[in-house]
Chains A and B, each alone.
Chain A
Amino acid sequence: MRYESPRNSRDAVALMASERGDAYLLAGGTDLLVRMRGEFIDPDLVVDIKRIPGIQDIRRMTSGFSIGAGASCAALGRNKALVRAWPGVVEAAQLIGSDQIQGRCTIAGNMCNASPAADSMPALIAARAKAVIVGSGGRRRIAVDKIVTGPGKTSLEKGDIVVEIVLPIPPPKSADAYQRFIPRSEMDIAVCSAGVSLTLGPRNVVKQARVVLGAVAPTAVLVPNAARAIVGTRLDEDAMMKLAAACEKACAPIDDKRGTVEFRTEVAGVLARRVAAIAYDRARRKR
């Protein structure tokens, strides 16, 4: 196995695109190394992206936040401006693994690993995050929900590298939240999860919302009907019931030892309600 650590993204793309054997990108390595050591994969080439200048940075620009593909989830939690703007994205990222894993794992890696239960995905989709991709054809920006196409599958092509995740600056009176269900207090894989991002208008009425569920379908699912159920309301009981019902309807989960279809479906509705309430409360306290 060759190990390369290119100093710019163009070289990284060239290495990935020209490799005839199996080539993998290394960001945090918390999935890649496990798969290598478990002999699920046998790479001929591993390209470590962390030496690309700026790739571990988190920057606040006028257009939004740029989170480098090599920035660890621990670093996200330490960035106060990001925590203030997107508390739900950060709390989702910080649910991934122990402190040891947090020190290495990245949200770009969490996305590219394409697990249906990836914690950061519902929150990123709810936040309208975009991925900046560098490939043989140049640089492009794609909404994160267009990247994961199924369990372990992405729309990325050979040589494509996600170099940044970009989050918009949230409008005034906006907030997000994320929760998952696991059978213990931490360090487990989501049985089901929900991310909600919303913006309040006059008199704290919900003006805009995005509701996303995780681990209840082959990919995280945006549920426009759930958002519709709460827009124009102050999350009264009737709106909350409609929100939960819309979420239950959007579920197409698997049955496994961690959760039955019925359980995942019901809990998806419950979590969506709780998460919407948290996001609402956070938004109300914002200017």
Chain B
Amino acid sequence: MKGIAVSTTVNGDAVDFVCEGRETLLDVLRNRLGLIGAKEGCGTGDCGACSVILDGELICSCLALGAEAEGREVETVEGMADGNKLHPLQKRFLEKAALQCGICTPGFLIAAKALLDSNENPNESEIRFALAGNLCRCTGYDKIVRAVSAAAGDLRRQKKARLKRRATK
């Protein structure tokens, strides 16, 4: 079987890999690129544990082929923190105990990031609908919703401070 050479961008870094035709993006991330944040829960697009952002669109990486990533941009949970500085979502998930076993957490973080990228002040209902594609069997979701809401507030405050700094310069 001849492999398919793919050049793509993962979390801002240029990445090249060779994969087989039927290999999913999830398998490529985990098995070829060593990015094991995205998890396989169901493999059928129901649980959201494999969520990544592909060209700005939230997707299940188990339902995309690795070869489809050619020339595109992939964002995974590994790209959320800035070095040792956690993303506000990650910080709030820890602080609000929005995880127990942690299997679903990377998927929730990426789905929540996709939500906050397009809606900086979502209400509870919007958060719940946006995260409906992610299943968690531990937390009962309440803590996750509260963590996302708190992180949204953090991001709004950061943005405001940034704008203020720019205005006073």
Contact = CB atoms under 8 A, between A and B. Distances in A.
Interface in A22-38: 26, 29-30, 33-34, 36-38
B57 A48 contact: no
A186 B111 CA distance: 17
A18 interface: no
B4 A3 contact: yes
B109 to A, nearest CB: 13
Given A5-B70, A38-B44, A100-B111, A30 B63 contact: yes
A26 B114 contact: no
Contacts of A187: 132-133
Interface string B35-63: 00000000111001001001001111011
Nearest to B133: A98
A50 interface: yes
Nearest to B50: A100
Given A1-B22, A33-B64, A48-B68, A101 B57 contact: no
A15 interface: no
A50 B44 contact: no
A41 to B, nearest CB: 11
A72 interface: yes
Nearest to A75: B57
Most-contacted residue by chain B among A26, A33, A34 (CB, 10 A): A33
Indicate the size class of the contact surface on chain B: 20 to 34
Contacts of B115: 99
A257 interface: no
A37 B50 CA distance: 15
A187 to B, nearest CB: 6
Interface in B104-150: 111, 114-115, 129-130, 132-134
A237 B134 CA distance: 42
A2 B45 CA distance: 23
B133 A97 contact: yes
Contact of A98 (B54, B70, B132): B132
Contacts of B58: 99-100, 103
Contacts, number: 85
Contact of B65 (A29, A72, A101): A29
B21 A2 contact: yes
B90 interface: no
Interface string A73-97: 0100000000000000000000001
B44 A101 contact: no
B63 A104 contact: yes
Contact of A186 (B4, B45, B64, B129): B129
Contacts of A36: 22
A187 B59 CA distance: 15
Contacts of A48: 65, 67-68
Contacts of A100: 45, 48, 51, 58-60, 111, 133
Given A103-B54, A187-B133, 6 more contacts: A29-B68, A33-B45, A46-B21, A99-B115, A100-B45, A100-B133
Interface of B: 4, 20-22, 24, 43-45, 48, 51, 54, 57-60, 62-65, 67-68, 70, 111, 114-115, 129-130, 132-134
Interface of A: 1-3, 5, 26, 29-30, 33-34, 36-38, 43, 46, 48, 50, 72, 74, 97-101, 103-104, 186-187
Question: 4 closest Cβ contacts across the A-B interface?
Answer: A98-B133, A3-B21, A103-B57, A1-B21
